[in-house]
Chains A and B, each alone.
Chain A
Amino acid sequence: MAEVKSMFREVLPKQGQLSVEDVTTMVLCKPKLLPLKSLTLEKLEKMHEAAQDTIHQQEVAEKERHITH
C-alpha cells in the first residue's frame, strides 16, 4: 500500500480559485408507480364495460333491422 501511495501523489492546489459552473439541467418526469385498483372500482369498470357492450350490440342490431326493412 505504501508503494502505491508513493506512486500516485494527490494534488491539492494551494493557490488560485476553484470555480464550479452551475448548469441548470432539464428535469425528467419521475417514474410512475401505478396504483392498484380496488375491487369496487374493478367491478364498476367491468359492469360499465358490459353495459356499454350491450348497448352497442343493441344499436348494431337496430341498424341491421333498418337496413333489411
Chain B
Amino acid sequence: MGSEMEPLFLAWSYFRRRKFQLCADLCTQMLEKSPYDQGPDPELPVSQAVWILKARALTEMVYVDEIDVDLEGIAEMILDENAIAQVPRPGTSLKLPGSNQTGGPSQAVRPVTQAGRPITGFLRPSTQSGRPGTMEQAIRTPRTAYTARPITSSSGRFVRLGTASMLTSPDGPFINLSRLNLTKYSQKPKLAKALFEYIFHHENDVKTALDLAALSTEHSQYKDWWWKVQIGKCYHRLGMYREAEKQFKSALKQQEMVDTFLYLAKVYISLDQPVSALNLFKQGLDKFPGEVTLLCGIARIHEEMNNSSSAAEYYKEVLKQDSTHVEAIACIGSNHFYSDQPEIALRFYRRLLQMGVYNCQLFNNLGLCCFYAQQYDMTLTSFERALSLAVNEEEAADVWYNLGHVAVGIGDTNLAHQCFRLALVNNNNHTEAYNNLAVLEMRKGHIEQARALLQTASSLAPHMYEPHFNFATVSDKIGDLQRSYEAAQKSEAAFPDHVDTQHLIKQLRQHFAML
C-alpha cells in the first residue's frame, strides 16, 4: 500500500505525524529523482514543495522554542557591558536579587543556589544560570543543574549539534549556504520563510539568516511584522540588544502578538532591566487578558528577584487560566513545601502525577512530601520508584540524599549513613551529602573525619552556609579558635541572618578580647 501512495502526500503525512526523519528521507529520494540545482526549479512546483517540506522537516527535528533558549555563556556573562548601572539599586536588577523582603522561607529552611536565590520548583534552560558574580562562581556548576554552561555561546551546544548533523549526512549539508543567492529567495516570501527558519534553527548561521531577513523585509517594504521579529531574534542572538529592541517594538506597532511581547521582554531581561520587562508584560496583558505565557513571565521575574510570595500569586493566576500548567504547579508546590505545608505541596505534586508527569524528580518530591506530611505508607515506595526512574547518577544521588533525610527523621543513623554514602558514590561532588555525613560522623565522635568531610563540602560549595558553620562549631569544640572564627565569618557572609553564627562569632570575639 505504502509504496503505491503518492510520495509527496506520504511525506506530508509523515510531517504531520511528526516523523521528521522519515519525511526528510523521502524528500531526499524525491529530490534525487528530479534533478535540481541547489534551489528548486521554478518551473517545477512539485520539487519546490518537496524542497520546502524537507527544509521544514529538518528544522522541526532540531527546533527549540527561541523564547526559552538561554544562550548566555560564561564569557557573555562576565564581560557583560549591557547592564546600565554597575551598582544598581536594590529591586531593579536581576544580579542583586536582594535579601528576602517578603518574608518567604529563609535560607535556614529553603536551600539556595549559588547566586543566592532559593531553589526553584522548575528548571528551564535559563534557570540554570543565575548570574554569577565572579569568574570562579561562573565556572562552578550551580547547585541544582548539572550541565555546566558553555564558555561562550558561540562554542555552545548549538555548534556541537550542528557538527553532529553534518557528520550524519554523508553528501554534505542539504543546502549549501555559501552558494545561496539570497536576493533571489527573498523575492519569494513563502520560500524565504521556510528557508530562514532552516538557516536559523538547523544551521545556526545567524549572520546568513540575518542577511536573508534583511533582504526579505526590504522586499516586503517593511510591512511584514514577521520579518521584523526574525531580525530581532537574530540581533538578540548576536548580542545586539538595543537593535533587537527597535525591531521588536516596530513589529509590535504593526501587529500585536504575544510572541513579540515575550521576545521583547527577553531583551529587557538580557539588559538586566526586570522592571521594564514587568511593565511590558503588563502592557501585553492589557491586550491579551489572561494570557498564560505573559503571566508566567511575570511570575518568573518575581521569582528571580527573590520575591517568592508575589511569584506564587502570579503562578496562581496562571493556574486559574490553565489548570494543567506544569511549571506553575511545580513552583507553587515547592513553595508550600518550604513554607512548612508539605500536605498542600503533596496535593500539587499528586496533581502533576495525575496529569501524566512520570519521572524521577516527581517521585522524589512525592516521597519527601509524603514523609513530612506523615503519610509513611507511601514514602518508601515513592523513593523506590524515583530510584528506578533515575536516568543518570546525579539524579540517583539526589534521591539517595533525600532518603538519607528520611532515615535521619526516623532516627536510623546507620541507614542514614549508608544513604549519604550512596549519594556520594553516585555523585562525588554532592556537597549536601558531605555535610550531613560529617554531622553523623560528629555524633559518633569521629572529629577528624567530620572535619575532613566539612572541608571538602565547603570547598565544593562556598555559597552554602552549613559546612562553614559546622566547621566553625567543630573547630570551636576542639579549641582551634582561629579556624573557627574564619569559618564562622564565611558562614556569616553566606547567610547574614543566621542567629547561631552570630552567636558563635560574638563568643569568639569575647575569647580573643580576653587574650
Using CB atoms and an 8 Å cutoff, list the residues of chain A in contact with chain B. Answer: 22, 24-38, 40-41, 43-45, 47-48, 50-52, 54-55, 58
Contacts and interface: CB of A to CB of B under 8 A. Distances in A.
Contacts of B123: 35-38, 41
29 contacts: A24-B500, A26-B473, A26-B474, A27-B470, A28-B408, A28-B436, A29-B435, A30-B109, A31-B402, A32-B111, A32-B398, A32-B402, A33-B121, A33-B333, A34-B361, A35-B127, A36-B327, A36-B352, A36-B357, A36-B361, A36-B362, A40-B68, A40-B125, A43-B64, A45-B147, A47-B62, A47-B64, A51-B160, A55-B163
Interface of B: 62, 64-65, 68-69, 108-111, 119-125, 127, 144, 147, 157, 160-161, 163-165, 167-168, 326-327, 330, 333-334, 337-338, 352, 357, 359-362, 364-365, 368, 372, 395, 398, 401-402, 405, 408, 431-432, 435-436, 438-439, 442, 464, 466, 469-470, 473-474, 476, 500, 503-504
Given A37-B359, A48-B161, A55-B160, 15 more contacts: A24-B476, A27-B108, A31-B372, A33-B368, A34-B360, A34-B398, A36-B361, A38-B326, A40-B65, A40-B125, A43-B64, A45-B147, A47-B62, A54-B168, A58-B167
A41 B125 CA distance: 6
For the complex of A and B, the 4 pairs showing the least CB-CB separation, nearest first, are A51-B164, A29-B432, A34-B361, A40-B68
A30 B164 contact: no
A38 B473 CA distance: 40
Contacts of A24: 473, 476, 500, 503-504
B423 to A, nearest CB: 10
B110 A40 contact: no
A33 B122 contact: no
Contacts, number: 131
Interface centre among A35, A40, A50, A55 (most CB of B within 10 A): A35
A67 B65 CA distance: 43
A51 B166 CA distance: 10
Nearest to A50: B164
A37 B466 contact: no
A40 to B, nearest CB: 4
Contacts of B398: 32, 34
B121 A38 contact: no
Contacts of B164: 50-52, 54-55
Contacts of A35: 119-123, 127, 144, 330, 334, 361
Given A29-B464, A54-B164, A36 B408 contact: no
Contacts of A58: 167
Contacts of B125: 38, 40-41, 44
Given A27-B466, A27-B470, A32-B432, A37 B361 contact: yes
A35 B476 CA distance: 36
